[in-house]
Homo-oligomer: A and B are copies of this chain.
């Protein structure tokens, strides 16, 4: 039931957008009664947050290959693969076009990014433990340096977004980490 409802929410979000999404519409599409949804989610916002979190985060497995470069490459390639599907692009469009108008959706978006970066942090902390990266590397800073060029291409430049984009993002993020400019508490922190 849960999976069906979350998938219905994603489909509604993609087709009608956040502003027009209703619990009734999601229930109809999922083939459940709306009271079933209200037993599991407080309201449409909570449902959307869960659905987006599922789509944007859980789709990206956290790799543990034993080396930072291949871990980051797997992470970046998963991100590219997720965001360049038709559903991924549709969701990005929904989030971008509606989040700017709807404060709650902006909060959801922010929470999703926080969650995504937190989930991937072990990739960086393990690399630090293995001595592959400077000890004071800030995991969130490195992961943002990895994600930024991929999202920048997706949203702004219109250039192709593919495995080469992912691999290039890894090179830039690792170069910055090795140069010590992604350190926690340093001049570039925050």
For window 135-190 of A, CB contacts with B under 8 Å fall at: 144-145, 147-149, 151-152, 155-160, 164, 167-168, 171-172, 175-176, 178-179, 181-182, 187-188, 190
Cα–Cα distance between A124 and B101 once the two chains are bound (Å):
37
B156 touches A151 (CB 8 A): yes
Q: How many copies does the complex hold?
A: 2
Among the interface residues A110, A155, A164, A187, which one has the most CB atoms of the partner chain B within 10 A? A155
| Range of interface residues on A (Cβ < 8 Å) | 35 or more
Cα–Cα distance between A190 and B97 once the two chains are bound (Å):
28
Among the interface residues A106, A144, A178, which one has the most CB atoms of the partner chain B within 10 A? A144
A157 / chain B contacts, CB cutoff of 8 Å = 110, 113, 144
What's the dominant secondary structure at chain A's contact region?
helix
A4 within 8 A of B: no
How close is A79's CB to chain B, nearest CB, in angstroms?
A: 12
Question: What is the 8 Å Cβ interface bit string for chain A, positions 94-111, against chain B (1 contact, 0 not)?
Answer: 001110110000100110
A32 within 8 A of B: no
A58 within 8 A of B: no
In the complex, the chain B residue whose C-beta lies closest to that of A158 is B110
A172 touches B176 (CB 8 A): yes
A67 within 8 A of B: no
Residues of A participating in the B interface, judged by any CB pair closer than 8 Å:
93, 96-98, 100-101, 106, 109-110, 113, 144-145, 147-149, 151-152, 155-160, 164, 167-168, 171-172, 175-176, 178-179, 181-182, 187-188, 190
